[in-house]
Each structure stands twice: as structure tokens, then as C-alpha cells.
Chains A and B, each alone.
Chain A
Amino acid sequence: MAVYVVAACSVTAALSAQSRLESRVPAPVLAAVGPTIDSARAAGLPTGPLEDKVLEGVTKQADAGRIAAAVRRLAGELAAAREAFGDRATTRELVAGAGGLRAGLTRGDLVRLRAARPGQNTALALEVATDLITQGVPSDTATRVVLKVLGAGASDADLEQLRMAVERDIAGGVPAAVAASVRARVLSGSPATTIPITPRPQN
């Protein structure tokens, strides 16, 4: 009975996705991306992000070949993220991992970031690392910075604070790598920061 329920749910999900795409995606595009989405579903990967990619491509008036290539690439990134995180990774973690790989993180970076937070959701740490890279922080520096902060026991709020603080510093003219490194040292409690507590009394 349980097998029938699971099978029914899978079929329902597939039909739902199909109807979501069918109502908005031209037939040639559906034909081009269908096999990739079906393969991903069979492999246990989340198909929602793949469907989003199809809809994005259609809205942006990309041709079927380009949309199919983008979907294949994303499916590959999701699979690589699942390989790094394991079968128990959430959809958000897989999407964040795929985004990180796209931004320049390596599979090893994903593994290290996951290991830095055993048993907890790694999605936010990945998203923060990806955001840092987007803002110009080198990928190795971004990974090191996030690992340093996680190693000091940072919470989700601390990670958000890191991201916002680096963004502010960069907007203020600080080089991205310097901003990320210094903020990580501040948040991890390392010595030698430059925050002035008071003006020099004799100057």
C-alpha cells in the first residue's frame, strides 16, 4: 500500500510539473528539456529548480537549445551538490550548492562547508559564500572566511551579519578580499582588528 502511495505521489508531482510547464512553455522547448527533467526526477533530484530554469529561459526568449543546455548544466550542478552533501541534503542545500559551484566553489569547498556544520542545514553558509564571491571576494577567500566564522561557532544570524557587513565595507570602498577577511576575524574573535574605540587623546 505504501508503495502505491509513493508511486501515486510521484506521478502526481510529475503531472503537476508538466502542467506547470505545458501552460507556459512552447512544445519545442518542452521536447528539448523533457528528457533532462525526467532523468533528474528518476535520479531523485529536485525538479523544481529545473522547471524554474525553463520558465526563466522562456520568459527571456531564449531558444530551445539554449534552454536545454542551461537545464542540463543545472541538473549536473545539482547532482554534484548531492554527491558532496549526500542523499539527505535538502532542496535548498542542493540549490545553494549548485549556485556555489556556478559561482566558483569547488566540490571540495562544498564538502568542507558541509563538514563545518555537521547535522545542520548548510544552505545559508553556502549562500553567504556565494554572495561574497558575487561581490568580488575570491572564491578561496570566501570559503576560508565562511569556514573561519563557522569554526568559531557562528549562528545563522552571524553569517547574515558577516554578509551585510562585507557588503557595507565594499560599498564604502574597501577591497572585497580585505573586507571579508577582516570581518571574519572580527566575528571569529581573532586579535588585531582596527575598530577604533576612542580617539587618540593626544592627537
Chain B
Amino acid sequence: MPSTHLSAPLSHALLACVLAASTAGGQALATGDLRTSTTTPVEARSTLALGLPLNRGSDLLLKAGLDGAGWLGAGGPGTSKGYAAANLIIALEGGRGGRCAWLRVGTGGLWDGLGAHSLLLAGLGGSMTRGPVAIELSLTETRLMPVERTVTLAPASVPIDTPGVPPPAPTTARQFVGGGVWEDVRAQLKWSGGPIEARLTGGVEIPQGGGRATRWLRTEATGWLTPQLGVVVGVGSPSLPVLEAPRLSGPFTLGFRLAFGRAARPVVARPPPKRENPSFEIRSVSGDLRLLRVRVPDASRVELTADFVDWRVVSLVPAGGGVWEAQLAIGPGSHRVSIRRDGGPWAVPPGLPAVADDFTGAAGLLRVE
């Protein structure tokens, strides 16, 4: 049984690499992460999931999937040897703002000096992403089943005063050792910038029925040498939760990480940075009538010309704060727009991408839905 469980997480990771599912209008993903370090010989996790948008055009995705995790330790006597678990996850993920909430239930096994414990997990959590930063909170209850052991009890004394009577045979007893229930509160702050990914993770593990709570903290950085291969360095507190791999040597970690299903950058986990003061803005008023606003500070006069005004010159009105605006009929599609300030040359409006222009070099490209 241990060998089956030990191979399960690794086969999970490999299976996730080659499996793919596709649903019309939905998303499918398969990722895997395999690492080895000075603290843990082998650590693996994988995810296989499907997601469907709640409605057409919505950024909300309902996702369901499986994820697996496991590690092989090499700790000394009294430390855990290995862990593997598989979780069923239901999540609701919002594209804008990168918000996600999830529920998970799982089962697995933990091997320590006492034997193989089966375990059950149940938890909930949420995360939010803003630009390169992601914050995550989770609460998990773990039930570790005790291990049944057979203990041999030697007789208290051997009578020697009755020859021919054999001494009493040793007796055996069955014991249940280990096991317990823990609540795990965990928080993580992650930052992703280019080829560098850094995490700060900490939490509190609280055993039910009394007992000392374990507080722990760990920080780790991954430098991605290629989209799949990274170098990991980290440092963590000496005390760790029950399901964390025991450290082989000290609080420092140095290792390699192999990720499957990972692009060069975390492409879709990062929404664009929110623009507090957009340079160019267009809002729908009614039908094709739209309010167009452009930020041109320190201007006395701002004019606009575009295909949607038949290339006539339209004067914008000041709306305060350096913003100029006009209500115009703008149909859906791509439009070329230019503005000029104080009667100067026509230029690309701030905030719009530039396209080649036959007369002034560049014009702004406005896309209206």
C-alpha cells in the first residue's frame, strides 16, 4: 500500500502533463510541479481541472478539479517519511481582480515512524490578485487516523517455585497510536515579477482537544531559468505543521523546481494594473451616443477629429482636472482618432494605441464594443 500511495502523486504529476480536456467555451488546465531541495528529497503537486464561464461574456468561471500533493522525506527517527493526498476542489474564479474562492475535500496518507496514517482534509479559502501581488487565505481541518499497532507485553514475573509449569506466555495487545485533528489557518503573500516568484507563507496549526498550537513562517523565492525549470531558495521557521515535509538540515532551502503546464509568465493570473486616472475613457450614454473623455492637462483648447465625426473638427469641453470631454455618436468597431492641443499638430490621444497615419505619422486607434 505505501508503494502505491508513494507513486500516486508522482504519477499524478506525469498524468497531468499529458492529459488535456477541452470544453466548448470553457477552459481546461493541467499543471504539475516537481521539486527537490536540500530539505525535502522529492515534493510534487499537480492539478487537473475544467472551468466553464457562468455566462457568455462573463469573467466568472466555475471550476472543478483534482489536485494532488505529496512529498518524500528522509527524516530521522520520529519524523515523517512521506505524504500524499488528493483533493476534489470546487472554485469560483473572477477574472477581473483575480478573485477566487474555493472549497476542497481530500484524502491521503501520512507515513511516520509509527506507520501509515490515513487522513481526511476539508477546507475553504480565497485569494485575490492585484497586479503582480496575490494574497491567499485558507482554513483547513485535517483528521489524521491513528495507526493500529500490536504490542507484545512480557509477563511481570516468572514463577520458579512450581517445576514443570511453563512460564506464562507473553501477551499481545492492540493499540491505536498517533492520529489527531488539527485546524490549519494559513496565509500567503505571493509576488511574481518577470522570472522571479517570491512567497511568504505563514500560519497557525491548532490541534483539537488542547495541545500546543504551532506557529510557522516560511519565505521562498524561485528564479525561473526557463519557463519550466527554476531554482528555489528559502528559509523557514523550525516548527512546521504536521503535513509539511520535515527538514533534513536547518531552516534553509536550496533546490530545483520543475513545473509542467506553466507558461513563461503567469499570463492570466495578473489583471492589468488599475488606472486611477485614465488618460482616455469612453462611456456609453445611450445607443451609440458615448461620452468621450481625454486627459490633456494645462491646455486652453482641445480639439478632436476622427472617422466617426466624418473627419470634422470637434471642440471638447473642459470637465475639470485637466480632463476634456464630448458626447458623440460612435458606433461599434475600430476607429482612428487624433487630437490637438491649443491649435497645435494633430497627435495620438493619450491612452490610445498608435497606428500608422498617412499625414501625421500616427493616429490613435479606438476600439468600441
A198-B100, A199-B136 given; A52·B262 CB < 8 A: no
Inter-subunit contact B369/A197 (CB<8 Å) = no
Inter-subunit contact A56/B359 (CB<8 Å) = yes
Of B148-156, B175-183, B270-278, B281-289, the stretch lying at the interface with chain A is B270-278
Inter-subunit contact B267/A194 (CB<8 Å) = yes
A195 at the interface (CB under 8 A from B): yes
Closest to B126 in A: A199
A153 to B346, alpha carbons, bound, how many Å?
A: 41
Inter-subunit contact A179/B267 (CB<8 Å) = yes
A157-B57, A201-B69 given; A195·B359 CB < 8 A: no
**What A residues does B100 contact at CB under 8 A?**
197-198
Of A6-14, A83-91, A106-114, A160-168, the stretch lying at the interface with chain B is A160-168
A70 to B127, alpha carbons, bound, how many Å?
A: 52
State the Cβ distance, A152 to closest chain B Cβ, in Å: 8
A193 to B356, alpha carbons, bound, how many Å?
A: 34
User: Interface 1/0s, chain A 151-177, versus B by CB < 8 A?
Assistant: 001000110110101001101111100
Inter-subunit contact B136/A202 (CB<8 Å) = no
Inter-subunit contact A172/B359 (CB<8 Å) = no
Inter-subunit contact B271/A201 (CB<8 Å) = no
A60-B360, A172-B270, A189-B28 given; A198·B353 CB < 8 A: no
A178 at the interface (CB under 8 A from B): yes
Contacting residue for B271 out of A172, A196, A200, CB 8 A: A172
**What B residues does A160 contact at CB under 8 A?**
369
User: Interface 1/0s, chain B 336-358, versus A by CB < 8 A?
Assistant: 10100000001000000111101
Inter-subunit contact A194/B89 (CB<8 Å) = no
Closest to A63 in B: B359
Inter-subunit contact B269/A194 (CB<8 Å) = yes
B138 at the interface (CB under 8 A from A): yes
A203 at the interface (CB under 8 A from B): yes
Contacting residue for B67 out of A70, A99, A198, CB 8 A: A198
B247 at the interface (CB under 8 A from A): no
Query: How many of chain B's residues have a CB under 8 angstroms from any CB in A?
Result: 85
Interface set, chain B 209-246, CB cutoff 8 A to A: 220, 243-244
State the Cβ distance, B61 to closest chain A Cβ, in Å: 8
A93 at the interface (CB under 8 A from B): no
Inter-subunit contact A195/B29 (CB<8 Å) = yes
Contacting residue for B49 out of A169, A190, A192, A197, CB 8 A: A197
A62 to B336, alpha carbons, bound, how many Å?
A: 17
Contacting residue for B69 out of A70, A103, A179, A200, CB 8 A: A200
State the Cβ distance, A19 to closest chain B Cβ, in Å: 13
Interface set, chain B 79-119, CB cutoff 8 A to A: 85, 87, 89, 91, 93, 100, 102, 104, 106
Of A28-36, A37-45, A127-135, the stretch lying at the interface with chain B is A127-135
Of B160-168, B308-316, B322-330, the stretch lying at the interface with chain A is B308-316
Inter-subunit contact B20/A56 (CB<8 Å) = no
**What B residues does A183 contact at CB under 8 A?**
267-268
A195 to B134, alpha carbons, bound, how many Å?
A: 13
Inter-subunit contact B22/A189 (CB<8 Å) = yes
**What B residues does A169 contact at CB under 8 A?**
267-268, 270, 272
A52 to B106, alpha carbons, bound, how many Å?
A: 64
**What B residues does A57 contact at CB under 8 A?**
358-359
Inter-subunit contact B271/A195 (CB<8 Å) = no
**What A residues does B125 contact at CB under 8 A?**
198-199
A10 to B65, alpha carbons, bound, how many Å?
A: 62
User: Interface 1/0s, chain A 112-146, versus B by CB < 8 A?
Assistant: 00000000000000010011001100000000000
Given A195-B51, A197-B51, 14 extra CB contacts under 8 A: A57-B358, A171-B272, A172-B272, A178-B265, A186-B27, A186-B268, A192-B20, A194-B261, A194-B269, A197-B100, A200-B45, A200-B69, A201-B69, A201-B123
Q: What are 16 of the A-B contact pairs (CB < 8 Å)?
A: A55-B311, A60-B346, A103-B356, A172-B272, A182-B268, A186-B27, A189-B26, A190-B20, A193-B28, A197-B63, A197-B91, A197-B102, A198-B65, A198-B89, A199-B127, A203-B201
- Which residues of A pack against B, CB within 8 Å? 52-53, 55-60, 62, 66-67, 69-70, 73, 99, 102-103, 127, 130-131, 134-135, 153, 157-158, 160-161, 163, 165, 168-169, 171-175, 178-179, 182-183, 186, 189-203
